[in-house]
Amino acid sequence: MSEEIIKAEGLTRVFYKHLTAVDHVDFGVKQGEIFGFLGPNGAGKTTTINMLITILKPTEGKASVLGFDVAKQNNEVRNVIGVVPQEYTADEDLTGLENVLLCADLYGIPRGLAKERGADLLKLVELTDFKDKKVQTYSGGMRRRLELACGLINRPRVLFLDEPTLGLDVQTRTATWEYIRKLKKEFGMTLFMTTHYLEEADALCDRVAIIDHGKIVVVGTPEDLKHSLGGDLITLATKEDDDVSGLIQKIDHVKEVRKEDGSYRIKAELGEMTTPLIIEALRKNGYTVTRLSLTEPTLNEVYLEYTGRSLRDAEESRESVFSQRMIMRRARH
């Protein structure tokens, strides 16, 4: 049974009466999954997350978290969710431990319990050795981990992550993914995250919704989305000059063959299995394959297919540009 933990129906947010940031969005997030919102900056990801975490009211439509309405029962929602914002919100002048305890205080968690949980969480994100150091001295990855620990202090049933690895370098990003997986395993939460990194959505999410201009374009598992494009791309060349397109076309799972500049671009399902069949068939007919490559589609192609564009940076408000700059600067710290 897959209970829907987060549910949005016709969720809409309009700013300044004419700027529709989120436009009648419907989706459901199932118990225990990692659900990702993928889209460029300005697509409406953060606005959606802000409505779900009760800091923005929907203009229209509704959403619920664990059955609590985000607009009407916001305090109930706040108690069962954890939030890791895209900014580094930890106080620079306080130590890691002090920051975690501050978060605990905001949930009204008694000091004794807070200290116990804080110590556990800091151990989990491997910050125990740095817990008494000021956050000023932390690296980008350490700050991210501290934010994760803060977001989990109230043992949330749903964790919201807004751009969890924004501004981090590749190694730190991969390491952060590991921490997210580990924490999810430890606490068995449902995760809702936004990202504009395709690799991130691919690596972490069970299901992805691609959002563009405030609308959900498509929802599915990363695998399904990739398959929906019609399979893998096989490129090959033969020694002989004859056109073998007809021959390849007959092979199972091959969907499309095109000859371009002496090589063949073949769209096929189950590329790993189809490729040997193609080579086999060509050899039987006396042709020699001189060059071959197999490319699996990435979410990037999926993204292109559904939005008609590559991930682009939309025009943004001064404030959000400033805040992104701050995040980048701290991440590089």
Partner 1 sequence: MNETNGNSRNKLHGLWALTNRELKKWLKEPILLVMAVLQPVLWMGLFGKAMNLGGMFSTSNIDIQNRILPGSALIPAQPGYITISGTVLSQMFADMGSSVMQNIFGVADYFSYMSVGMISFIVMFTTMFSGMSMVWDRRLGFLNKVLSTPVSRGAIIFSKVLNAALRSMFQATIILILAVIFGLQVSSTFNVINILGVYAAIFLLCAGLSSVFLALALRSTKQETQMAIVNLINLPLMFASNTFFPISMMPDWIQAIARVNPISYLTDALRQLTVLPMDVSLLTIDFAYLCIFAAVFSAIGITLSWRFLTK
Phi, psi of 265 (to 5 degrees): -105, 115
- Choose, by CB under 8 A, the member of 37, 68, 88, 264 that binds partner 1: 88
Q: Which of 3, 57, 221, 293 binds partner 1 (CB under 8 A)?
A: 57
- Return d(Cα 46, Cα 198) in angstroms, integer: 17
Among 81, 142, 204, 254, binds partner 1 (CB under 8 A): 81
Rounded CA separation 78/264 (Å): 56
Q: C-beta of 197: minimal distance to partner 1 in Å?
A: 19
Using CA atoms, how far residue 328 sits from 24, 170, 278, 318, 324, in Å, is: 32, 14, 48, 15, 6
When the beta carbons of 73 and 228 are compared against partner 1, the nearer one is: 73
From the list 107-115, 172-180, 192-200, 227-235, the region that binds partner 1 by CB under 8 A is 107-115
Least distance from C-beta 179 to partner 1, angstroms?
19
Could you tell me which stretch among 31-39, 124-132, 154-162, 216-224 binds partner 1 (CB under 8 A)?
A: 154-162
Q: Which of residues 123, 155, 258, 309 is near partner 1 by CB under 8 A?
A: 155
Would you say 82 or 231 has its CB closer to partner 1?
Answer: 82
Tell me: does residue 138 bind partner 1 (CB under 8 A). no
- Report d(CA 79, CA 77) in Å as an integer: 5
**Using CB under 8 A, which of the segments 33-41, 92-100, 121-129, 188-196 binds partner 1?**
92-100
CA 132 remoteness from chain centre: 32
Burial annotation 140-157 (CB, 10 A radius, 16+ → b, else e): bbbbbbbbbbbbbbbebb
Which residue number, 290 or 317, has a Cβ lying nearer to partner 1? 317
- Could you say which residues in the range 235-254 bind partner 1, by CB under 8 A? none
Residue type, position 76, single letter: E
SS3 129: helix
Taking residue 271's Cβ as centre, other Cβ atoms within 10 Å add up to: 19
- Smaller CB separation from partner 1, 315 or 319: 319
Tell me the two tokens of residue 177.
């993914």
The reply to whether 122 sits near partner 1 by the rule CB under 8 A is no
Judged by CB, which is closer to partner 1: 92, or 301? 92
- Judge whether 37 and 214 are in contact, CB under 8 Å: no
Residue 187 in the binding site for partner 1 (CB under 8 A): no
CB of 319 to partner 1, least distance (A): 5
The answer for residues whose C-beta is within 8 angstroms of residue 276's C-beta and 6 or more apart is: none
Q: To the nearest whole angstrom, how small is the minimum distance from the Cβ of residue 326 to partner 1?
A: 7
Residue 89 makes contact with partner 1 by CB under 8 A: yes
The CB-of-39 to partner 1 minimum distance in angstroms stands at 20
Q: Are 77 and 156 in contact (CB under 8 A)?
A: no
Instruction: List phi, psi (to 5°) of 33.
Output: -95, 165
- 273 touches partner 1 by CB under 8 A: no
Give min distance, CB of 158 to partner 1, in A. Answer: 12
- The edge-to-edge listing of strands for the beta sheet with 34-38 is 81-84, 158-162, 190-195, 34-38, 207-212, 215-220
Residues that bind partner 1 (CB under 8 A): 50, 53-57, 75, 78-79, 81, 83, 85-89, 91, 93-94, 98, 102-103, 105-110, 113, 150, 154-155, 160, 318-319, 322-323, 326
